[in-house]
Amino acid sequence: MADNLQDQLYQQIREALLAGRFQPGERLKIRGLAAAWGTSPMPVRGALQRLVAEGALEGEPQRSVRVPAMTRERFQQLFEVRLSLEGLAVELAASRISQAELEQLHGCIERMEVALEQRDVQAYLADNSQFHLCLYRACANPILLRMIESLWLQVGPFFNRLFTQADLSLRLNDFHEQAFKALQAGDGKAARQAMEQDLSFFGQFLLSLLDLEQD
């Protein structure tokens, strides 16, 4: 039972990191999380230690952990690897994706559009994470998927910064729609190009924010 609870907590915290529900630098206190979930500290500690081992969190003194702060160098390194791996996953997925998965992607796009209209950051980020990871899972390469998810765990919290400029939100769904149309047509190269444009366009924006903060 304890192991099962630890697995559940691990998945919940992991999904929250992927969807950007935690901020870079935010501290997660074991007792605070245990109280919030109505459980003892032990399964929470185990779940957090697993995420520390994966590089998604950093251990701190006094029984707490922290979402790693984002630096320009770290984001640049993550971005370069993501561009290669996620582009490959999309191209592979194009010939393997099912109708059910396409429908799931379309639902994500529609919900993201509503979230953008309502300025609902968390709803947008949740469906953005679901869109990308559903698409990448369709590549049917578990090794590639594990690598991508590991990178997303590290970069997900920083996606909150995409909403610091109102004008930017007007483009947050454009490349998703382009990729979806290419996937419907079975055009893997066009789908890959759309997702690489998505990563590059918003990656450069986030890098510019880090440049401003470090000046």
Number of H helices, E strands in the chain: 9, 3
Distance CA 191, CA 207 (A): 24
What global pTM score does this model have?
0.87
Q: Which domains does the chain have, with CATH numbers?
A: 2-66 (1.10.10.10), 72-214 (1.20.120.530)
- pLDDT per residue rounded down to tens, the chain (215 residues): 456 888 999 999 999 898 888 889 999 888 888 888 888 889 999 999 999 998 899 987 766 799 999 999 999 999 999 999 999 999 999 999 999 999 999 999 999 999 988 888 889 999 999 999 999 999 999 999 999 999 999 998 888 887 765 555 667 889 999 999 999 999 999 999 999 999 999 899 889 888 887 65
**CB proximity list for 35: less than 8 A, separation 6 or greater:** none
